[in-house]
Chain A
Amino acid sequence: MHAGPHVVLRARGLGKRYGGVAALAGVDLELRAGEVHAIVGENGAGKSTLLRILGGVHAPDAGTLELAEGADGPVPVELGGVRAALGAGIALVHQELNLAENLDVAGAIFLGREPARLGVMDRARMRREAAEWMRLVGLDASPDAECGALPIAQRQLVEVARALACQARVLVLDEPTSSLSERETVRLLGILRDLRATGVAIAFVSHHLDEVIDVADRVTVLRDGRTVAHAARGTFDRPALERWMVGRDVARRGARRTREDAPVRLRAHGVRGAHRGGHAVTLEVRAGEVVGIAGLVGAGRTELLEAIAGVAHRGGTVELDGEPLRGDTVRRVRRGVCLVPEDRARNGLLPADAVSTNVSLAWVGRGGARIDRAGERGMVTRVIDRLRVRPADPARRVHSLSGGNQQKTVLGRWTAIEPRVLLLDEPTRGVDVGARAEIHDEVRRLADAGTAVLFASSELEEVLLLADRVVVMHEGRIAGELTAGEATEESIMHLATGGTHAGSRGATA
């Protein structure tokens, strides 16, 4: 029983469905005392769901979760909530830090478990003990410092200290380095490595394969809600991880046109969006060209599209057919630069209104002050036909449509005004396979009519299916560019996870 490393947590066959979608469909995970364990996978592979289950936020629909009891082997547990998970010794450090910003560091570390004497908080003891935990995690700050005033890297360490102070046996970090600078990242990884000596099992999710290779003792790879590989240090390298993460055959489209003779329709030069890195991005899209932006969550794709669309523009120049493009969305939409936003419910739809109102929202601005109602009806009918919105009822309220038909409604708004530049952010997120093909067809049709299309997608399959050319982003920069011929899941993933450009040019790494 005690031979080999001590298993602290063991998950077998975890499954979880949201509505009709299986987020997890058989995940196995084993965390051992004193190890750093990396959990990797593409966007949507199920990492977040797994973490939520470990943290007690959600209960799994299938599978078992076992936790070690003292020195004995793992026994099955059910985590009936976040507090239960904490009580069982599993502490989750979220990607979005949820520290009470107005508390001082000592107060945050002991929040909810303040040492007290006769009901009066024992501040001196709190400060003393907090200082010890802080030393353990290498947090160089005063226990009296206000959390809100600390840089993100230090706030993260406060969370780690808090987790350890809770006597956590399993520490789970969700993308702990996603908001850190390179130096802070190196420091945090060093601290995680040192924490192994305390006997805590440390699991972390990361999109940065270099970090994983750097610190992980063992790796679990998820794909499509399943565990596809377990590997110990020395038995995995970057190509292996990339292959496991991607590892499926993708239906490739046939030969693709290059549009080198077409005029440049959209030119973004040194554009900065709201991305925290604030890097300047330069790219061109020709008339009739479909360019895909690949990259992991947080790579700056949305920010780039929103900067070009005029939603959040923080510098640089955008040119449309050689003329500078300025101002907010009002002026840019008038010139035919249109964005299908990532979050259609929040930024795209008028959910309580009819399909026709949604589709004609921009179209009505093209006519006179008085709405041409007959023209509107005809246009809406044509758009519904062309995009196959189902049910084909212009009066139907949008919130009663399926995700795919809602997305067609948002796209139809731009179809109606024949855009010169069409920007799409996750064009088929939450859309079923059939609707997805129809949306792709419409994007193609618009491109064939001369629209310059720039889209961002987290799904490599979609990027490979739709794009004539692929731009890969990593941490706010363009990491590389691939022609349709060069682009493969491996070559994109290589660039997206911080691989060097040179390696990608020779097709696969």
Chain B
Amino acid sequence: MSALRKNAGILCVLVAVCAAAAIFGDNFLTGYNLTNLTQRSALFGILALGAGLVIATGGIDLSIGSVVCLAGIATPWLLVERGWSPWTAVPTVLAGCAGIGLAHGLLVTRLRLQPFLVTLCGLLLYRGIARWMTGDQSQGFQGEFGALRDVALARFDVPGLAGYRLPATVIPLAMLAVAMAFALHRTVWGRWLLATGRNEAAARYSGVPTARLVTLAYVACSTLAGFGGMLFIFDIGSAQPSDFGNFYELYAIAAAVLGGCSLRGGEVSVTGILLGAATLQVLRTAIILVGLSSQLEFAVIGAVLLVGVAADELVRRWAERRRNRAARGG
């Protein structure tokens, strides 16, 4: 009940955007379009879950898009150019991404650098490494590794929904979402992660290992970005190191913020993040279906994010005023 109320806002937005796209655009309610939308929402949803974890600690990860690029480029590069087997390539790439997250976390917690700066440097660094590593050449699977790519490409028929085919990426997304929701709300680590985001000092004074939890959030975020990057490249087959994953961190952060994660930390809703990710993808599609110029895409997303952040701020002030009034009254 309270989860529904908390996500009611973003749910209304999603329904409204869908309705507008269905009414004013052609082909929105086709099985093909909806299948595509599900696929894209699932992929960005995985990135957004990671972003949500970092945001819950009061941090930010701007390097998600570049990690997507590095992982997505490195996977076919290792398999095709280097001839590695998938059994070594995939774990290596994921471990590398976890290492990136570990570096972010340690820089933030031990050196006390600002998350914004650390991950901004990461954004530049990993993109540069991906381009240098591949000689800035497009990387692809060249028609091979079909079984591996099926992780992202497989589709399942859904009885009763003609033309709609459920993408396989929904399975890892669902597993990750359930695991994250359970970890956040049912385990000590989740409770402490949220407490750290709410008030780091109070958590630390209470014996909460705040540094370890924050580091863990960055590790999870980068690992999910790496996993997402693999699924993206499985999906599209080949990509350019110079533009693959560009701005994906912003879609991820925007999805988390729209889904009710406060950039102040301490607040996160897994359901909200998934709804936020879906909303952004529907928006992108709707812009095209409704006949607006696709050049407006960033402007629309920017405006939506701005409204989200402004709402966050206004709600906070309103709550503070109410708190002050309550304090004066009592």
Interface residues of B in 259-303 (CB under 8 A from A): 266
Bound together, the chains give a CA A369 to CA B184 distance in angstroms of: 11
Residues of A within 8 Å of B198, CB to CB, are 350-353
Interface residues of A in 1-45 (CB under 8 A from B): 19
Residue B27 at the A interface, CB < 8 A?
Answer: no
User: Closest approach, in angstroms, between the C-beta of B54 and any C-beta of chain A?
Assistant: 19
User: Closest approach, in angstroms, between the C-beta of B247 and any C-beta of chain A?
Assistant: 32
Residues of B within 8 Å of A196, CB to CB, are none
A-B contacts counted at CB < 8 A amount to 87
Residue of B nearest to A306 (CB): B205
Residue A348 at the B interface, CB < 8 A?
Answer: yes
User: Closest approach, in angstroms, between the C-beta of B262 and any C-beta of chain A?
Assistant: 9
Interface size on B, residues (CB 8 A): 25
Residue A240 at the B interface, CB < 8 A?
Answer: no
Interface residues of A in 399-415 (CB under 8 A from B): 399-402, 413
Interface residues of B in 186-206 (CB under 8 A from A): 186-189, 191-192, 195, 198-199, 201-206
Residue A178 at the B interface, CB < 8 A?
Answer: no
Residues of A within 8 Å of B201, CB to CB, are 346-347
Bound together, the chains give a CA A348 to CA B187 distance in angstroms of: 22
Residues of B within 8 Å of A339, CB to CB, are 205
Residues of B within 8 Å of A333, CB to CB, are 206-207
User: Closest approach, in angstroms, between the C-beta of A253 and any C-beta of chain B?
Assistant: 29
Residues of A within 8 Å of B192, CB to CB, are 361, 364-365
The size bracket of the interface on A is: 35 or more
Residue A167 at the B interface, CB < 8 A?
Answer: no
Which of B187, B202, B327, B330 contacts A350 (CB under 8 A)? Answer: B202
Query: What 0/1 pattern do residues 79 to 96 of B give for CB contact below 8 A with A?
Result: 000000000000000000
Residue A179 at the B interface, CB < 8 A?
Answer: no
Q: Are the C-beta atoms of A370 and B323 separated by less than 8 Å?
A: no
Between B189, B208, B266, B319, the greatest number of chain A beta carbons within 10 A of the residue's beta carbon is seen for B208
Residue A225 at the B interface, CB < 8 A?
Answer: no
Interface residues of A in 365-419 (CB under 8 A from B): 365, 367-371, 373, 399-402, 413
Bound together, the chains give a CA A347 to CA B191 distance in angstroms of: 17
Which of A328, A329, A341, A402 contacts B330 (CB under 8 A)? Answer: A402
User: Closest approach, in angstroms, between the C-beta of A44 and any C-beta of chain B?
Assistant: 20
What are 27 sample pairs from A and B whose C-beta atoms fall under 8 A apart? A19-B328, A329-B205, A329-B206, A333-B207, A348-B205, A349-B199, A350-B266, A351-B198, A351-B199, A353-B195, A353-B198, A357-B191, A361-B195, A362-B207, A364-B191, A365-B188, A365-B192, A370-B186, A371-B186, A371-B187, A371-B191, A373-B186, A399-B323, A400-B326, A401-B330, A402-B330, A413-B206
Interface residues of B (CB under 8 A from A): 186-189, 191-192, 195, 198-199, 201-209, 266, 319, 323, 326-328, 330
